[in-house]
Amino acid sequence: MSYKLSPSKLNLFLECPLCFWLNEKGVHRPSGPFPSLPGGIDRKLKIYFDKYRKQGKLPPELQGKVEGKLYDNLEKMDTWRNARKGISWTDEEGNTLFGAIDECLIDKDNFIVVDFKTYGGSKVEDDKINFYQNQLDCYALLFEKNKLKHPGYAYLIFFMPLEVKENGKIDFKIEVKKVKVDSKRALKNFKEAIKLIKSERPKNNSECKFCSWAREEWNSK
């Protein structure tokens, strides 16, 4: 039997092996029923970036802060950003790693992943960047496996609300963070996650607030 994993699933694996294992067996953590505000902003940002892509320019917020220019193949970008299509790689056992990126820059022959983050804080600390490390590592691995070169780093763009004005207008503080990526680390996590799925149920994680809930849910199946 083969499996399909995403960066978010691998995040769960790294956070709590039991919750990850249960998720792959059909017992999922509770989640909210409605689309989130960050998700809505994310879609609007892609439209905004496409406007500048068609002009062959960088959005003013990125000028002087990033290397390269917006990748100009809109058809390819639409595929890579599509949550059902995205970019993927399948290993020799038929297991697949799949992801959908937000944006991509190109500098000479290097493809540079850009990921949007909406954040309620006023300053981006290192632990906030580290939280997204696995996601960026996975994108680096996916690009390599699809024979696309990358420079060994990606960009996180944080949009932090500063002020709400009349007529629903919001001013954002924008911070661009350059983050080193490691495809080997992503591959190691992917292989270990697949191995765990095929293993016996792992022990409860005492630091996970969902594990006690998961125990009751699993026992009721």
What is the domain extent for residue 88?
4-14+36-193
Cα 25 from chain centre: 23
Q: Is residue 148 part of a domain?
A: yes
pLDDT of residue 216: 58
Q: Is residue 204 part of a domain?
A: no
Q: Is residue 202 part of a domain?
A: no
Least trusted range by pLDDT, from 9-13, 112-116, 215-219: 215-219
Q: How many CB atoms lie within 10 A of CB 197?
A: 16
Q: Is residue 162 part of a domain?
A: yes
Q: What is the pLDDT of residues 146-160, one digit of tens each?
A: 999 999 999 999 998
Contact assessment for residue 196 and residue 17, using Cβ atoms and an 8 Å cutoff: yes
Q: What percent of the chain has pLDDT over 70?
A: 91
pLDDT band at 75 (very low <50, low <70, confident <90, very high): very high
pLDDT of residue 183: 98
Distance between CA atoms of residues 77 and 104, nearest Å: 8
Q: What is the pLDDT of residues 1-38, one digit of tens each?
A: 899 999 999 999 999 999 999 999 988 877 655 445 56
Q: How many domains does the chain have?
A: 1
